[in-house]
Amino acid sequence: MLNVSVLGASGRMGRSLLACIAEDKDLRLVGALTEPSDPAVGQDAGISTGLGSLGVSLLDNRTHVLEKAEVAIDFTLPEATQANVAACIDSGTALVIGTTGLEEEDIKSLREASGRIPLVYGRNMSVGVNVFMDLVRRATRALGEEYDAEILDAHHSQKVDAPSGTALALGEEVAKARGRTLEELGVKTRVGQTGPRVPNSVGFSVIRAGNIVGDHSVFFASPDERIELIHRATNRRTFARGALRAATWVHDKKPGFYSMRDVLGLQET
């Protein structure tokens, strides 16, 4: 049985992780981290999140939360990333991190940390999304630059970053398949008299409304036809289950910087 600690246990994703762990006979919850300001500190993590007793208290001390863990799963906020990673290094705990909105400096620190612990980083932990990304990469290569590429990202009204990390990752797959970078090809805003579309650019559109869990579409359009690849998440548990699959895969790996592509065995072609 794999001992798992959840960092950010009181958030949307944290609650989904707690529920999925409770349902899996091969996983054991051994730690649940929350913010010091959380009024539920000290309470049973399950009861405080509406799941019933799980026998593990919500704590604000990383050392105690990681004490028995073989792997930690982090869905918190970018400002907590450095401290969470440092605590995992100190405890020798493998880490799966799905926090979105990380900057380049954060990613650099993750890569440095991966020299000491096995670490899986993904801006979207859904198994389906990662297969979707692989299909987008293959389609981009097959279609060529004569097909315009556009990415639509739709999420709930409370999401704070845009475009989403997943949308950006999709754009990176398109740019990489064309031998370029997203910094070179990406167009994230269109306002006013923008003029005609720049050839070979990768456009982004964003919707933030209601309780949309996460929809992403990639459009490839030529003058004669259009291809649409779509992924829709209907429940946050899809991200939780993917993160737990990553945790099961990475806990006994050598130190290294891994992705969901590694977890799923999706090879570069």
- Quick: pLDDT tens for 61-70: 999 999 999 9
Compute the average pLDDT of residues 143-165. 95
CA dist 109 and 112 (Å) reads 5
Do 76 and 142 reside in the same domain of the chain? no
16 pLDDT more than 90: yes
State residue 129's pLDDT score: 94
Mean pLDDT for 193-215 is 95
Question: How much is the pTM?
Answer: 0.83
Q: How confident is the model at residue 268 (pLDDT cuts 50, 70, 90)?
A: low
Per-residue pLDDT reduced to its tens digit, 224-250: 999 999 999 998 899 999 999 999 999
pLDDT at position 269: 53
Mean pLDDT over the full length of the chain: 94
CA–chain centroid gap for 161, Å, is 13
By annotation, the residues acting in catalysis are 155, 159
pLDDT at 183 over 80: yes
Mean pLDDT of 194-200: 93
Range list of H helices, 118-164: 127-143
Q: Are residues 137 and 189 in the same domain?
A: yes
Looking up residue 141, the CATH number of its domain turns out to be 3.30.360.10
Say whether both 183 and 258 belong to one domain: no
115 & 147 share domain: no
115 within domain boundaries: yes
What the block records as the tokens of 235 is: 């429940």
Report the CATH number that the domain containing residue 110 is assigned in CATH. 3.40.50.720
Residues 42 and 71 in one domain: yes
Three-class secondary structure of residue 6 per DSSP: strand
**Residue 154's CB: how many other CB atoms inside 10 A?**
20
Residue 269, domain member (yes or no): no
Residues 114 and 151 in one domain: no
pLDDT digits (tens, 9 = 90+) for 82-138: 999 999 999 999 999 999 888 888 999 999 999 999 999 998 899 999 999 999 999
Instruction: Quickly state the pLDDT bin for 176 (edges 50, 70, 90).
Output: very high
**Is residue 32 in a domain?**
yes
75 and 94 assigned to the same domain: yes
Are 158 and 78 in a shared domain? no
Q: Which domain holds residue 213?
A: 127-233
Interatomic CA distance for residues 200 and 103, integer angstroms: 25
Same domain as 167, residue 250: no
Q: Convert 154-211 into a string of H (helix), E (strand) and C (coil).
A: EECCCCCCCCCHHHHHHHHHHHHHCCCCHHHHEECCCCCCCCCCCCCCEEEEEEECCC
In the chain, the number of structural domains is 2
Identity of the residue numbered 231 = H
Q: Are residues 117 and 243 in the same domain?
A: yes
